[in-house]
A and B are shown apart, each in its own frame.
Chain A
Amino acid sequence: MKKIILIAAVLFALQTQAQVTRAMLQASGLTCAMCSKAVFKALTAVPFVEKVQPNIQLSTYELSFKPGAKLDFDALSKAVVDAGFSVSNLKLTAKFRDLKVENETTVTLENQAYHFVNVAPQVLNGEKTIHFIDKNFVTARDHKKYGKATALKCFGTGTMDGKRIYHVTM
């Protein structure tokens, strides 16, 4: 019982250790404004997305999320892929408070596991940006590159014990 309370306390503490403010997604394989608009519309239709601010020239989309909504980053990737393209970069900006991270550690934020790769030990405070490095969020080349930095099997599958785990770096 004590253990459960302790875990609950730790989880609760972690939940308040980061608050997502915005995300930046870059789509790849695009050729035209018509294609960019297809991606824009697809991202706008994702339920937890509040607003999408596109930059056509750079193929980037600044995303803000509905307050309190559960974030599902795979849904963002699926939206882009269904529009006919791929995600080459996803960055998440959050306000952190005393979140301790180091290389090859997993932290749980709002019930979602994040595994940190290729980071120096540090305590995150204030607004910081983390990069997703899982298969559907970077180019194939970058995914391969990051694969060399971690020995974990879950980096290839994106799941651990059947649960989704996102791999991130700073």
Chain B
Amino acid sequence: MRKMIWLFLVIGLPAAAQELYVFSEPASGMPARSLSVKQTAKVIRDLNAGRTASRHTTELMFGVNRNLMVHTIGTFSDMYTNAQRWESVRLYGKYRFFSKDDLYRHFRLAAFAEGSYSRNKVPFSEVSVEGDQTGVQAGIIATQLLHKLAVSTTLSFANTPLSSRLLSGSTGPLPNNAFNYSLSAGYLLLPVNYTDYGQTNLNLYLELLGQNATDQRRHYVDLAPAAQLIFNSQAKLNLGYRFQLESNMARMSKDSWLISFEWLFLDALK
């Protein structure tokens, strides 16, 4: 990871770094009174069932004030059923409690908490509140922008009660408590010179996403590269591929594709 950070520093692209990560949230929030709408499709190859399945997530994000943002999320999926059906709802809140801004740099800390209700009964050992299971998650995010590089880390705990799980998976009892972590980096590739809000941006990201179950000796580590286009400084198109580096968990799939589109409405909430 350190090698990667140095690589970014050496490349030294001539524009501010990006922290609009595709697979994680930065500590920074949204502008106050803004609204954002995001539609995401996640596509996996279910190796156990030998078929392709997908999840479609609709997310409404509100910048309540300068420090607080709230997301309401709903998902449809055919991951655990034969056909697409309404799968889960989730509420996410993030509060930025520390900010140190300087020219072209900042350090920010935020705390977040979320709760989800899912209709699924999951036979896999991965602990997830992103549609898969009913549960709660809370954690801390730290984001540092250093002129041309933005790195961010998230540390959190997730709990998905056994009532939302099948009692035992194909590999034995399932964990229901987990420690999650992420380390993300991103930079702006294009445009080289910023002169206009109408210029399309191309951002590249690399994220390390991991989980360690705390009640069983099970874990995974994923790597997720992603590309992002930003149109008119207002709409984002994300394309990411997430794959397993290492794991001893029973998972539905070892990799997934993600495509999402997000539209930001500034000053939407008066």
Contact = CB atoms under 8 A, between A and B. Distances in A.
A32 B106 contact: no
A88 B102 contact: yes
Q: Looking at chain A, what size class is its interface with the partner chain?
A: 20 to 34
A42 B105 contact: no
Contact of A141 (B20, B29, B66, B102): B102
Interface in A125-170: 139-141
A47 interface: no
A42 B18 contact: no
Contact of A34 (B15, B65, B104, B233): B233
Contacts of A54: 197
Contacts of B30: 84
- Chain A interface main SS type: mixed
- Interface size band for B: 35 or more
Nearest to A38: B31
A29 B147 CA distance: 9
Contacts of A81: 66
A76 B201 CA distance: 28
A170 to B, nearest CB: 21
A29 B196 contact: no
A32 B201 contact: yes
A34 B199 CA distance: 11
B234 interface: yes
Given A29-B99, A31-B150, A139-B102, A57 B233 contact: no
8 contacts: A31-B20, A32-B20, A36-B233, A37-B197, A37-B266, A38-B31, A41-B266, A140-B100
